[in-house]
Structure 1
């Protein structure tokens, strides 16, 4: 428990610092983080006996993230990089032609799945900082604070009052009471955030919080389903007492794209 607490403390410091230190640090940090998550995903898939193309997948991940990041920066001509995406993406198919694998499309499928499951969500999370046109750390920081509030609320309420299982076959410890507790605590956190970050109304922050609670929990369940399907407990051991990076960011994977979409439409209405 002591190791877990120490790791959690430094993890929070690093995450908050990555948002506050400006858009260059922010962009580079989450590029690195998304690539580590992709590498971790491919490692899990390989344990299950499949052979995703790790190198080509990582190169594609870097290109996808960088192309969308530069477009978010509104760099001149950066959007043209998006039209080059078919070239590196096609390499995943082409490269498999030269290999002697019994299940080439399974390997191709897992290579693409890694990009969709890890790189794209972090691309949307990065985009939160630019959702209204210029860099604003309030949106990604608010997202992280609400995500942590949901995890904390769900754990505290679920451990004390949890009776009815949410998805027992995928995550035996999650309960409906924990889900509701997470939503309530996140709503409170969202209201407090709205007092200091006034770009959104209190209602809009609270709606964002509810989205994070519901789809963050969904992301957690999906990652649990994935781990159970390949019979592993933790996605890795890079964070002592907490498991792997995917274990820490599973809530972000589904919630970030949906929150981005919501914020994009209400801030550009």
Structure 2
């Protein structure tokens, strides 16, 4: 427990510092997190992080995330063109690997790279939109996790998804949504100016973030259960891997993009 707390304080402080700094240092920090999270997904599939496809995939993720930065040497490659180049490279490597690298592995790498790269790209975009927006999303994720945990421990009876995550309960999930909504109201009252044009939209977005954040956690649990691993990695002692810490955020950001909250 002590190690878990120290890790949370250390990494949490570093994470918040880079959020406050913003700009290119934040984009670079997030690109590094994204690359490591991608490598963790590769490792689940038994694809060595030091293999050529994994390294190329990590570079793709970094370039994808940095698309949101102000640096023209990365911006000149549109996302669709960058994705097309990556797919072609994977397929060509499959041909010349003499069946050591399969289409199944290529598909895994591309989906992992696109999912993680696109989500963290949106996170950098969100930071460029403003500091309040980033903290709004992140605080609601933290409040959802804490609310679901404590309400679930106190009142949890009905299993939410026992085949994937047996410790989560329906009562805990509802508690997470309620706590997130309360946190959203408090933030709106504290932050000068309105983050959203109406209270209805504010509460609607808070529910979306809370519900889909919990779903994102279940998605990663399903992935880990399929590959038979407890944690995505061990880079954070007591917490597992970076994918374990950012699973909700990674899933939420594309949802907010779909709802046009992130442009």
Shared topology, TM-score over 0.5? yes
User: 2:202 is matched with which residue?
Assistant: 205
**Which residue of 216, 229, 254 maps to 1:219?**
216
8 Å contact kept, 2:231–2:240? yes
User: 1:93 is matched with which residue?
Assistant: 91
**Which residue of 245, 248, 251 maps to 1:248?**
245
Please state how far the C-alpha of 1:128 moved relative to its aligned partner: 1.6
8 Å contact kept, 1:41–1:114? yes
**Cα distance in 2 between the residues matched to 1:116 and 1:76:** 20
8 Å contact kept, 2:147–2:172? yes
**Cα distance in 2 between the residues matched to 1:113 and 1:141:** 28
Please state how far the C-alpha of 1:263 moved relative to its aligned partner: 4.6
**Which residue of 227, 231, 236 maps to 2:228?**
231
User: 1:186 is matched with which residue?
Assistant: 180
Structure 2 alignment gaps of length 5 or more: none
**Which residue of 118, 138, 141 maps to 1:144?**
138
Please state how far the C-alpha of 1:222 moved relative to its aligned partner: 0.9
**Cα distance in 2 between the residues matched to 1:112 and 1:60:** 9
8 Å contact kept, 1:235–1:246? yes
Q: Does 1:117 align with 2:111?
A: no
Please state how far the C-alpha of 1:209 moved relative to its aligned partner: 1.7
Question: Number of paired residues?
Answer: 257
**Cα distance in 1 between the residues matched to 2:139 and 2:19:** 12
Cα gap change, 1:129 to 1:228, in 2 (>3 Å): same
8 Å contact kept, 2:164–2:221? yes
**Cα distance in 2 between the residues matched to 1:217 and 1:120:** 19
- Equivalences for residues 18-97 of structure 1 within 5 A: 18-46=18-46, 53-67=53-67, 69-70=68-69, 73=70, 78=75, 81-82=78-79, 84-85=81-82, 86-97=84-95
User: 1:129 is matched with which residue?
Assistant: 127
Deviates most, 253-262 or 106-115: 253-262
Structure 1 alignment gaps of length 5 or more: none
Give me the CA root mean square deviation: 2.4
**Cα distance in 2 between the residues matched to 1:124 and 1:258:** 10
Cα gap change, 1:22 to 1:126, in 2 (>3 Å): closer
Given the two structures, how large is their TM-score scaled by the length of structure 1?
0.87
8 Å contact kept, 1:52–1:107? no
**Cα distance in 2 between the residues matched to 1:206 and 1:18:** 28
Deviates most, 98-107 or 218-227: 98-107
Deviates most, 12-21 or 167-176: 12-21
